[in-house]
Structure 1
Amino acid sequence: MSNQIACATDDLAPEEALLVELTSADGAAVPVAVVRDEDGDYHAISDVCSHGAVSLSDGEVEGCLVECWLHGSQFDLRTGRPLQLPAIQPVPVYPVTVDGDKVLVDIDAPLAAAS
């Protein structure tokens, strides 16, 4: 697979996140947090916090980071790296393309992966 439509550009205001479920090339469902940062840029990261296995799209977005609502771990939307404990493992980050009013995500070509 390649780019999949995740949402419309007007589905998110700046500093908002949305959970979408996309399908990988092997047919697996992949939960993705599509996030619009304070500058209006779109990002896509795994929706699953690497520390507590909870939804990151339910967390707060500030600037270019998202904070997990359960334990307060913060992740950089560009790299997936944790910026605040207790998380120590990054989350996958996926390429995003905006095509007109569509936000497209390629979950089969992660830019960063949890290690």
Structure 2
Amino acid sequence: MTTWIDACGAHDIEQENVVRFDHEGRTFAIYRSPEDQYFATDGLCTHERVHLSDGLVMDDIIECPKHNGRFSYKTGEARGAPVCVNLNTYPIKIDGDRIMIGLGEPASRLGV
């Protein structure tokens, strides 16, 4: 069952950027694509648990600020060493001007 949580305002994220969202001891990253779509993943790199919100967004890629590992924020797929474990992704819906993240079972659990 999915529980929808108000994460942030839609205009709080610039295009090709990421923001951190913490909820009940978990950290998430919320992205805004160049096409004005929103996506959510786990907020910590699977390599060394660094906050992805401090990373660089380019097209559909988030680059970790510590070792430059890369993930597709749309699918969670690990796309560049040293990362080799994928990120979980979560559904997003827009309610007015608010971004809601769907918590419960991840939308994708690509895993190891």
- Fold shared per TM-score above 0.5: yes
The structure 2 residue matched to 1:105, chosen from 96, 101, 108, is: 101
CA contact (8 A) 1:64 1:76 kept: yes
Q: How many residues align?
A: 110
Q: What percentage of residue pairs aligned between the two structures are identical? A: 26
* Alignment equivalent of 2:76, drawn from 80, 85, 99: 80
Equivalent residue, structure 1, for 2:16? 15
Counterpart residue number, 2:37 = 41
1:47-92 Cα deviation digits (max 9, x unpaired): 1100111001110011111000111111111110111110000011
**C-alpha contact (below 8 Å) 1:95/1:109 kept by paired residues:** no
1:107 Cα deviation (Å)?
2.1
What one-letter code is carried by the residue in structure 2 that aligns with 1:100? G
Structure 2: distance between partners of 1:30 and 1:107: 11
Deviation for aligned residue 1:30:
1.3
TM-score, normalising length: structure 1: 0.90
Contact 1:51 1:87 in 2 (8 A): yes
Note if 1:6 corresponds to 2:7. Answer: yes
Between the aligned partners of 1:99 and 1:109, the Cα distance in structure 2 is 21
Q: Secondary structure at the match of 1:79?
A: coil
Unaligned runs of 5+ in 1: 24-28
Aligned equivalents of 2:76, 2:46: Cα separation in 1: 10
Give 1:26's aligned residue.
none
| 103-112 vs 54-63, greater mean Cα deviation | 103-112
How far apart in 2 are the matches of 1:12 and 1:18? 7
TM-score (norm 2): 0.92
Deviation, 1:39, is 1.3
Task: Report the RMSD for the aligned CA atoms in angstroms.
Answer: 1.1
